[in-house]
Chain A
Amino acid sequence: MQKPIDINKEWQEKITSLRDMVLGNLVMVSQITASTFKERNRSEFVLQRFKEVGLSKAYIDESDNVIGVLKGRNSSRRVVLSANLDTRFEDDVDHNVTMDFNQAKGAGIANNSLGVAALISLPDIIKRLDIQFDMDIVFAATTRAHGRGDLDGMRHFINTYPFKIDFVLNIMATNIGRVDHFCQSAVRGDVTCVVEAPEEFTSTGFEQNNAIIVLNELINSLLCIPMSNRPKISLNIGKTRGGESYSTPCPEATLNLYVRSEDDNMTEKVIESIKDCCIDIGSKNGVRLDVSFFGRYRAAGLRFSHPLVKTAIKIVRTLGFRPMVAPSNTQIAIPLSKEIPSITMGVTTGKQSSLPNDYVLLEDIPDGILQLITLINEIDKGHCDE
């Protein structure tokens, strides 16, 4: 039986009394649109918050990441607290939030506006709790996590930050209890099918190729790629888009897919098979089938027995939540690939959605903040070192 972590009751009470500050930040953050590559306004708001609370050297870097440092007593070590700024919602989607007794709702609130709100509230909360750590805490609100963003913000930060990083603690809005500590081998791919219309006639379209039908053939072909159970590999066909009207043969269509595996070699093999399928189906139909891969992550992670993972799980359990361990496809892929011990934790219970009706429950937020501060404290005391 593991010895539970002591939860500081004084902190718990104080953090509970400060919940509204987090909720205020949540409303402010959520209402600033931040689709991937267009996070600048949100970055500027975060920078303002970092400056208001007195973080040293607060700045926006070339990738629009916002960085600020809470200096420790001796600054010999540093932990990075990160949260991605971008949401999956375009700027023309209504980003206004609604809040009732138990929950807040709004586009992107669960991925990752609450994570950002927690990140920008933490320096203030730590100061109000009058906690002084030995190590530096580096707050990093990062950009370009979603889709074609390909974790560029985090990548840029990790590659360019001038000081050694000892730990990364990534904050996601949901779900409390998660302790992501490893990433699978993964890659995202976009297939575009373009049908060139014959020059000599365009009449009824009976004779023309149709991009949707070609993609349908491709999908059938992709489904024939052998997938092993050990090591596990999966191919997800996540999204298709194309077409103009009822009566026009579709001239262009796209397909988004995602491959993940426990083994990097398996991923490579599937990438090759997908390329082959595209060439086969493209030539058979006389159309262009372009495939591009991005978001390629190597399998990396911490062992379950790593003290950072063990400690995080103990804290989650002590606070009365069920620890959840699953492969992560979040920002920790980048620091883990550099062998920096990293985990992702969630602030509260909620639901992410591709529709603008994400929600987060308000009740667990103070415990979500408390688990982060408790873990930082344990890291500071050296309890998470190998």
Chain B
Amino acid sequence: MNNLNKWLNKRTFHHAQFNDMNGLLVQKQGLGLKISLCLPTLNEAGTIGKEIILLKSELMERYPILDEIAVIDSGSTDNTVEIAKKFGAKVFLASEHLKEEGEKRGKGENLWKALYLLEGDIIVYIDADIANIHPKFVCGLIGPMLYNPHIKFVKGFYDRPLTLSQGVRTSGGGRVTEILIRPLFSQFFPELTGIIQPLSGEYAGYRSILEKLHFPVGYGVETGMLIDIFQKWGLDVIAQTDLDSRVHSNKQTRELGKMSFGILQTFWNRLARYKNLDSIEIENYRMMQVGMKNDTPFVEDTEIKEKERRPMIEVPAYLEKFPPQPE
């Protein structure tokens, strides 16, 4: 517990610690790094335009902290792609790249392909549905890595109606985090319970780490990523930053049930991999939820099978584009 508290004190930041843009820029240039921003999208026409315009004008033109902004789309049927192009982002349709790796769909797929499509040494992932977008979402994530060479992966957390303690929120995940993830972490990976919002969609990491991770393509991508980084490199390479508030649409409980179903698969998979619990075998990939139709209950079942991508570093096309560097 003491170690966890030490980690919390040492590795929990606030975005305001990194609001000196010139300082960040100097630091980035001094380290000779390229930084890429990936916005994974699926029908985000309502918010994508202003996310791009704001982050591009503030973090590429005013302070060239970002070297590229790319939208990786899962096949939006609204105007997401057109708006993103109009406002000057690079736009990639996930299904059109690395076809030889087979077809998979999901947010994790976009994040995985970002490693191949983007150039940065650091990749920043930001969800495309943030209504109150601000440069802090990027600066707060890259700041800890630019100022501390030991930190390789930074996770964001946000305002939730929870008590504050000395400027740092003492808890504050969403419903799935508090009811599912944190209890599971407590039982099997207690060191990770200090991550305030393990499911947040805003994080950044060094390519050198991300390329060595398996990527669940669905709901489990954030959980899998955290466990894998912790298992391979330890807790000390992970940090988290308070990004204050993040305004986005709330999910229905029913949707959260499906999300939990996917995350659990990733979790059992990690237990098998790291805790030698080979006896766990999922018997059913259909999420059963009871609904009502004309006052009659019925069971709705949805197939949710979490697939995973192998580490990008094992993909030949990737190795050709990014030849392995000596350690």
Contacts and interface: CB of A to CB of B under 8 A. Distances in A.
Contacts of B83: 100-101
A27 interface: yes
Interface in B43-63: 45-47, 49-50, 53-54, 56-58, 61-62
B131 A96 contact: yes
Interface string B24-55: 00000000000000000000011101100110
> In the complex, which of the residues A28, A52, A99 has the most CB atoms of chain B within 10 Å of its own CB atom?
A99
B88 A27 contact: no
A100 B79 contact: yes
Q: Interface size class for chain A?
A: 10 to 19
A20 interface: yes
Interface string B237-266: 000000000010000000000000000000
A160 B64 CA distance: 39
A20 B57 contact: yes
B132 A23 contact: no
A324 interface: no
A97 interface: yes
A197 to B, nearest CB: 39
Contacts of B54: 23-24, 27-28
Interface in A3-36: 20-21, 23-25, 27-28, 31
Given A97-B50, A98-B46, A101-B82, A31 B57 contact: no
B79 A24 contact: no
Contact of A23 (B57, B62, B133): B57
Interface string A55-75: 000000000000000000000
Interface string A265-285: 000000000000000000000
A194 B75 CA distance: 61
B79 A21 contact: no
> In the complex, which of the residues A23, A24, A96, A97 has the most CB atoms of chain B within 10 Å of its own CB atom?
A24
Nearest to A104: B50
A20 B88 contact: yes
B79 A20 contact: no
Contacts of B57: 20-21, 23-25
Q: Interface size class for chain B?
A: 20 to 34
B61 A20 contact: yes
B275 interface: no
B206 interface: no
A28 B58 contact: yes
> In the complex, which of the residues B49, B50, B247 has the most CB atoms of chain A within 10 Å of its own CB atom?
B50
B244 to A, nearest CB: 12
B88 A98 contact: no
A116 to B, nearest CB: 15
A100 B47 CA distance: 8
Nearest to B54: A27
Contacts of B61: 20-21, 24
B79 A101 contact: yes
B265 to A, nearest CB: 35
Contact of B50 (A25, A94, A99, A101): A99
A28 B53 CA distance: 11
Nearest to B47: A98
B158 interface: no
Contacts of A20: 53, 56-57, 61, 87-88
B105 interface: no
B62 A21 contact: yes
Given A21-B61, A24-B54, A96 B49 contact: no
B86 interface: yes
B134 A31 contact: yes
A99 B128 CA distance: 13
Nearest to B87: A20
A24 B86 contact: no
A39 to B, nearest CB: 19
A349 to B, nearest CB: 18
Contacts of A28: 54, 58, 134
Contacts of B133: 27
A20 B45 CA distance: 18
A101 B56 contact: no
Contacts of B47: 98
A109 to B, nearest CB: 11
A100 B46 CA distance: 7
A20 B87 CA distance: 8
Nearest to A98: B46
A31 B132 contact: yes
Nearest to B63: A52
Nearest to A28: B54
Contacts of B79: 100-101
A97 B57 CA distance: 16
Nearest to A95: B132
Interface string B64-103: 0000000000000001001100111000000000000000
A29 to B, nearest CB: 11
Contact of A24 (B45, B46, B56, B131): B56
Contacts of B62: 21, 24, 52
A19 B61 CA distance: 12
A382 B244 CA distance: 50
A28 B137 CA distance: 13
Nearest to A24: B57
Interface string A74-101: 0000000000000000000010111111
B138 to A, nearest CB: 13
A375 to B, nearest CB: 25
Nearest to B130: A96
Contacts of A21: 57, 61-62
A21 B82 CA distance: 20
Contacts of B134: 28, 31
23 contacts: A21-B57, A21-B62, A23-B53, A23-B54, A24-B53, A24-B61, A24-B62, A27-B50, A27-B54, A28-B134, A31-B132, A94-B131, A94-B247, A96-B131, A98-B47, A98-B49, A98-B50, A99-B49, A99-B53, A100-B45, A101-B79, A101-B83, A101-B86
Q: Which 3 A-B pairs have the closest CB atoms?
A: A24-B57, A99-B49, A96-B131
Interface of B: 45-47, 49-50, 53-54, 56-58, 61-62, 79, 82-83, 86-88, 131-134, 247
Interface of A: 20-21, 23-25, 27-28, 31, 52, 94, 96-101, 104
Given A94-B131, A99-B87, A100-B49, 5 more contacts: A20-B87, A24-B57, A25-B57, A52-B62, A100-B83
